[in-house]
Structure 1
Amino acid sequence: MSIPAIELMTTLRSGHSTSPRLTWYGPDSERVELSGRVLDNWVAKTGNLLQDELDAEPEMRLGLDLPAHWKSLIWALAAWQLGMETVLDGSEAELLVTDKPGSVTGKYDAVIAVALPALAMRWPGDLPAGVIDYAAEVRSHGDILMAHADPSASGCAIAGSDGQRHLHEGLLTGFSAPHDEGVRLLITAADGLEAALANSLGAWQNGGSVVLAHPDVQLTDHLLAAERIQGK
């Protein structure tokens, strides 16, 4: 069964396979650019990690304790491909993805630590017992994602910070933000993960692409011109 998030990834994988779809500007002059094909590859590997190691299935809840970041978008997209619910408000979830594994409170079936630097091949330092190291594990998983169980369009896709819930069938109509066709959209990470997700989905479904900038990045005229962003 197909749901909008799956159809979106199919479009990004086929219709925009070599064009930039997600560009990240981070601290220390970090720049990461993902084409449609590379974005799909990261989503597939992450989704397979969820299925193969964590027995993820439709309607399971995945807590995203992450800032607005390119890896955060990957995790949300991977979860949605499997019909999972992403939880942004810190409420109950079976699985937790976090960049702060040492400060986790609450009980989870599994905790996954995400090192945010682009070149990180593993978590820098020791992890609490039982915590999974995303950077060390993700690359060993398959490049094609085939869900073990059919996701339900009537299942919840996201529980927002305001408590509002959006179903998978309405992810691209009720949750995503409207944007012009082919937009090259600047998103500031300071606005938070929920805004980054809504705006990215809105840009992608209209053939656009996203530039996501860390709060510490200076948005100079040179950067905006280089990324073909009109205004900000």
Structure 2
Amino acid sequence: MELTPTTPAALLNAFRTQNPTSPRLSWYGPDSERVELSGRVLDNWIAKTANYLVDELDAEPGTLIALDLPLHWRSMVWLLASWAVGATVISTSAPESTTPDPFPSADIVATADPAAMNERLAEAKPAPLIIAVALPALQMRWLGELPPRTLDYSGDVRAHGDVFFADADPEPSDIAWQHDETTMTYDQVIAASAEAPQRVLLEAREGWAAVVRSAVETWAAGGSVVLLDPSVAATERLRSSENITA
């Protein structure tokens, strides 16, 4: 009998051991982009990203990683990889209007707009490491010139290992996620899961808090997620073609 994952580490293990060839995350993006990640492929992306965080950026339990990214399959990979490392993830629904700004306190900032982020963090002491994340699936590197002190995630991540083993695990009471006014510890990340696997439709317009909680709950139950960019309509045709059950 397969045990339901209760920690992020156990969830990542489930991706590669429980029906690893079945879809776990499908993404519909702008310009008719569709990306489907099986459990094995999702785990591979998470492992490469976690190894990148550790090997290139010296991430470890307690490192503050801020995500200046839209809800996207890549931002979900970053979230799960950061948890694999034992880091604390910072995100916000309205990064440009949040007061006080949480990003200058981060050690690492992953962003889809490195020029704006460099300007935003120009006065931060010490300055966070800024990582440019290209969102299109077929974009193998950042296109265009990168600002100073900025690294290219998409161009560098593929060189890293396909399997990740953490050097140290976070304590259950360590902070896993800070989103706006909500704080979640590692023992709260997977609070409950559905009773049976579902194919769940989630829309990015619902916001980080709703999408992340629903996705983690679905994955813990052995299900899969279809995530839609705000530009993509949740039509009956899409629901039918993706075999949505919830």
Mapped contact 1:185–1:209 kept (Cα < 8 A): yes
Distance 1:180 1:203 in 2: 9
What percent identity do the matched residue pairs reach? 43
2:201 equivalent in structure 1: 186
Which amino acid is the alignment partner of residue 19 of structure 2? H
2:9 is aligned to 6
C-alpha offsets along residues 136-176 of structure 1, whole Å, 9 cap, x if unaligned?
A: 01100000101122322221000012x22111011101xx7
1:155 to 161, 171, 174: 174
Gaps of 5+ in 2: 93-100
| Among candidates 119, 122, 137, match of residue 141 of structure 2 | 122
| Cα gap change, 1:11 to 1:121, in 2 (>3 Å) | same
Deviation at 1:193, TM superposition (A): 2.6
2:185 is the alignment partner of 1:167: yes
1:191 to partner: Cα distance: 1.6
Indicate the larger mover: 40-49 or 3-12: 3-12
Aligned to 1:219: 234
Task: List alignment gaps of at least 5 residues for structure 1.
Answer: none
Equivalent-residue separation in structure 2 for 1:192 and 1:123 (angstroms) = 26
Paired residue for 2:151?
132
Q: Is 1:98 matched with 2:98? A: no
Q: Distance in 1 between matches of 2:48 and 2:6?
A: 19
The equivalent position to 1:46 in structure 2, one of 23, 45, 49, is 49
C-alpha contact (below 8 Å) 1:51/1:148 kept by paired residues: no
SS of residue in 1 equivalent to 2:190: helix
Whether the 8 Å CA contact 1:99–1:115 is kept in 2: the answer is yes
2:11 is paired with a residue of what secondary structure? Answer: helix
Q: 1:3 to 1:131 in 2, by over 3 A?
A: farther
Runs of 4+ in 1 over 3 A off after TM superposition: none
State the AA in 2 paired with 1:74.
V
TM-score by length of structure 1 reads: 0.93
Note closer, same or farther for the CA distance 1:55–1:3 as it changes in structure 2 (3 Å cut).
farther
How far apart in 2 are the matches of 1:71 and 1:197?
13
TM-score (norm 2): 0.87
Q: CA RMSD in A?
A: 1.6
| Counterpart residue number, 2:87 | 84
Deviation for aligned residue 1:180: 4.8
